[in-house]
Structure 1
């Protein structure tokens, strides 16, 4: 049986994960040039990226095949200079074909990430349903009040060097993830 304190901490972590998941969803949607509501999940967004990459790669490969056909027509010439240029074009075309193989590997890797994200999103959503929106809304309010009561010292954010707004984690955020007891347990 977990204590009330541990349950409260779990709720705060869940709220943090849910908020972070939604933030990532919005950021991915922006990268795709869509508004935040266009994709239901981050996994959907990444699936769309894979599809767009595949479409672009197919267009490149089809165009390169057409160029190779044109080069084939030029090879009918007996002019050594034209044949030399055709050889150079074919070499470059082959390099483009090889470079386009990135899409298969990238697609496979992103698919693994998509599957992991789907799993995580399903578990977070399940936990949100388990505790209920009303209960977690209270936790969100508590977290906001804690943040207002303990504002971030702007000088501390400089300790990690310059970082883009919204990317850097504050020390308070890191502290919320790990208590001293958690750290002690890790190092035993």
Structure 2
């Protein structure tokens, strides 16, 4: 071993510097200073919207199934001695129970999405710390070097469902075709 002199450390220091520069560029791509969009906050809002939409759909399913169960019970009360009909109504009741059980996915989904949101907030805090360490001006300069959204063609047009109050409304689309 040649010892601990400056020439032995120089390649390692250069590798560390290159790695640090890469981290800075990646951070600039995520946190573009002056940009209104906070990507992590946006992701959290999207995930919250998923939980809300799933909850709404589950509630609609459960309300509908409860109404079907009530109708089946009314039919049962109309013909208490009709064994074939009672047997079919029992089968409907069994299927209704299966739907209720299946709808528990919504609670589990909500819990798992909440864990992801918590992780995103943790990462966001760490990124904010890095932004303050490196400085917004330096990241703004790097951000300009990196450029805008790299998506091209149809991919640049695909933005998926929008949050409530964002994006194009159905009324806007209707006016476009009128």
Task: Tell me the alpha carbon deviations over residues 127-186 of structure 1, each in whole angstroms, 9 at most, x when there is no partner.
Answer: 223323321122123345xxxxxxxxxxxxxxxxxxx958xxxxxxxxxxxxxxxxxxxx
Higher relative contact order (CA 8 A, sep 6+): 2
Q: Which residue of 1 aligns with 2:56?
A: 55
Confirm or deny: 8 A CA contact 2:31 2:38 kept in the other structure: no
Determine the structure 1 residue equivalent to 2:67. Answer: 66
Kept in 1: contact 2:27–2:127 (CA 8 A): yes
Give the equivalent residue in structure 1 for 2:145: 142
Within the candidate set 14, 25, 28, 1:15 is matched to 28
Structure possessing the higher radius of gyration over alpha carbons: 2
2: CA distance, partners of 1:83 / 1:5: 76
Name the counterpart of 1:41.
Answer: 42
Q: Which ranges of structure 1 fall in alignment gaps of 5 or more residues?
A: 26-38, 145-163, 167-188
Residues matched between the structures, number: 131
Aligned counterpart, 1:122 = 125
Take 1:15 and 1:49, find their aligned partners in 2: how far apart are those partners? 28
Partner residue in 2 for 1:156: none
Match of 2:108, SS? helix
Name the SS for the 2:64 alignment partner.
helix
Q: CA RMSD in A?
A: 2.9
TM-score of the superposed pair, with normalisation by structure 2: 0.61
TM-score (norm 1): 0.58
Structure 2 residue 94 is matched with structure 1 residue 91: yes
Of 104, 107, 110, the match for 1:104: 107
